[in-house]
Amino acid sequence: MKKQRFILLLSATAVLALGTSLAPEARSATYPSDVIKTSSGDLKITPINHATLYLEQGGKVIAVDPTGQGDYSDLPKADLILITDIHGDHMDRASIDKIKKPSTIVVAPPAVAKTITEAQTVSNGEKKTIAGIEIEAVPMYNLTRGPAAGQLFHDKGRGNGYILTLGGKRVYLSGDTEVTTEMKALKNIDVAFLCMNLPYTMTPQEAAEAVKAFKPKIVYPYHYKGQDTEQFAAALKGTPGVEVRLRNWY
């Protein structure tokens, strides 16, 4: 019996030790959230994974780029789902279906609607009110980075960044982009989510330069796998009126 107990204990210890490596992308369903006060109630921000997050405000649940790396078992169903691009780390049919309910509205650029056919489309530069929420589509694209000479990872016009107005707060979701003229020209952004990963988007230092141009009150780095977000925070240290919030997306 003692020998059996020892073997069982050893096996359990091995499983625990290997658990992280067996499922390196898995995260708990209990995700920490931030709360920001707005003119019509709290805005709850829940980082989930990579480019995926939840925004909850005014009784509405908004999911951004839900993919299979997130665990949605303890999260509410979405009233609105925003998709930014056609790539698999942003557009995932199975995850969309997992968090949808009959009344859920999906919003996406036209390129995404070719696959997610029920999506209501918003194109770069358009502004629409959907599910009672003002949504503006902002261009997101590469300037120089691509898989080969003459090619870009993200062509202008294909994907959307978004500005949402929630309780009087303007929330910017960059999507996959380099530092564009449209981003630098943004005004009155209260909360920004900025991508930063190579080779697909931009470096932490480039993202920091963008922040210095459009000056969001609060900025979260996201979509940053493989990048040092402390470099981003250091580059913005002492920038008046800008609060950097580093959270765990992985």
Instruction: Give the start-to-end residue ranges of the domains of the chain.
Output: 32-244
Q: So what's the architecture of 32-244 in CATH?
A: 4-Layer Sandwich (3.60)
pLDDT for 30: 81
Give residue-wise pLDDT tens across range 119-164. Answer: 999 999 999 999 999 999 999 999 999 999 999 999 999 999 999 9
- Tell me: cis bond preceding 199? Omega within 30 of 0 counts: yes
The token pair that represents 228 in the structure block: 């040092």
Q: Are 140 and 150 in contact (CB under 8 A)?
A: no
pLDDT for 18: 29
Bridge-based pairing state of the strands 52-57 and 43-49: antiparallel
Q: Are 158 and 122 in contact (CB under 8 A)?
A: no
Give residue-wise pLDDT tens across range 205-231. Answer: 999 999 999 999 999 999 999 999 999
Give residue-wise pLDDT tens across range 25-71. Answer: 445 468 999 999 999 999 999 999 999 999 999 999 999 999 999 99
pLDDT for 8: 33
- Per the listing, tokens 């979260």 go with 220
130, 78, 116: which is closest to 100 by C-alpha?
A: 78
Q: Are 220 and 194 in contact (CB under 8 A)?
A: yes
